[in-house]
C-alpha cells in the first residue's frame, strides 16, 4: 500500500468508526426513551477534543437547544486499548463488551438525572436501571433485525464516497 492508499484507508476507517458511534448513540437514545427515561430534547454528537472529559454540554445560540457532545478521542482510545485482546480472541465478545461500556457511558448521565434528581431515588437505583437499559439494548442490538444496520457498519466495507 502506498502512502496515498494508506491515508485513504485511514480516512475510510475513521468515517466508519464515526458512523458506528452515531448509529449506536441514535438507537440507544431511542431505546432509552422507550423505557420511559427522559432523554433531553437536545442535539447529540461527537467531537474530537484534547481535554480529558468524555461529555461536553453547551447551548445552541440559534435555537437555544442544549447540545451534548461526546469526546471521540477518548472513545477511540478505549477502543484501541482493547484492540489486542479483540485480535487475539478472534471472537466478537471483547468488541460487544466495548459497545456495552460505550452505551453505559452514553446513557448514564441522563438516567442519573432522571432517577436521582427528578425521582429522588438513590444512585444505586440509577446504576441498576442503567445496567438494565444497556443489557436490554445489547440484546435488541444482537437479535432485532431492525437494528442490524448498526452492526452492519462494521461487518461490511463501506463504499468510498
Write out pLDDT tens, residues 116-157: 998 999 999 999 999 999 999 999 999 999 999 998 888 765
Residue 89, pLDDT score: 84
Task: Confirm if 132 and 54 have CB atoms less than 8 A apart.
Answer: no
Q: Whole domain around residue 93: which residue ranges?
A: 3-155
The mean pLDDT of 30-50, rounded to a whole number, is 89
Q: How far is CA 132 from the centre of its chain?
A: 16
**Is pLDDT above 80 for 161?**
no
9 within some domain = yes
- pTM, two decimals, is 0.85
128 within some domain = yes
Query: Where does the chain show beta strands of DSSP type E?
Result: 43-47, 55-59, 66-71
Any alpha helices (H) in the chain, and if so which ranges? 3-34, 72-81, 83-89, 93-112, 123-143, 148-155
**Is pLDDT above 90 for 14?**
no
Residue 156, pLDDT score: 66
51 within some domain = yes
pLDDT by residue (tens digit) across 67-117?
999 999 999 999 888 887 888 887 888 889 999 999 999 999 999 989 999
**Is pLDDT above 60 for 158?**
no
31 within some domain = yes
- Total tally of structural domains belonging to the chain: 1
Question: What does the alpha-carbon distance between residue 119 and residue 98 come to, in Å, rounded to a whole number?
Answer: 30
**C-alpha Rg value of the chain to the nearest Å:** 17
**Is pLDDT above 70 for 159?**
no
Amino acid at each position: 500500500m502506498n502512502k496515498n492508499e494508506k491515508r485513504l484507508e485511514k480516512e475510510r476507517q475513521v468515517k466508519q468508526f464515526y458512523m458506528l458511534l452515531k448509529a449506536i448513540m441514535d438507537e440507544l437514545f431511542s431505546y432509552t426513551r422507550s423505557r420511559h427515561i427522559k432523554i433531553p430534547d437536545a442535539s447529540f454528537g461527537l467531537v474530537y477534543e484534547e481535554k480529558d472529559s468524555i461529555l461536553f454540554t453547551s447551548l445552541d445560540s440559534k435555537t437555544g437547544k442544549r447540545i451534548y457532545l461526546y469526546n471521540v478521542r477518548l472513545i477511540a482510545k478505549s477502543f484501541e486499548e482493547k484492540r489486542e485482546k479483540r485480535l487475539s480472541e478472534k471472537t466478537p465478545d471483547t468488541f460487544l463488551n466495548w459497545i456495552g461500556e460505550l452505551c453505559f457511558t452514553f446513557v448514564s448521565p441522563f438516567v442519573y438525572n432522571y432517577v436521582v434528581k427528578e425521582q429522588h431515588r438513590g444512585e444505586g437505583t440509577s446504576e441498576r436501571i442503567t445496567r438494565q437499559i444497556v443489557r436490554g439494548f445489547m440484546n435488541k442490538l444482537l437479535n432485532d433485525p431492525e437494528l442490524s444496520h448498526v452492526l452492519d457498519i462494521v461487518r461490511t466495507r463501506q463504499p468510498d464516497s
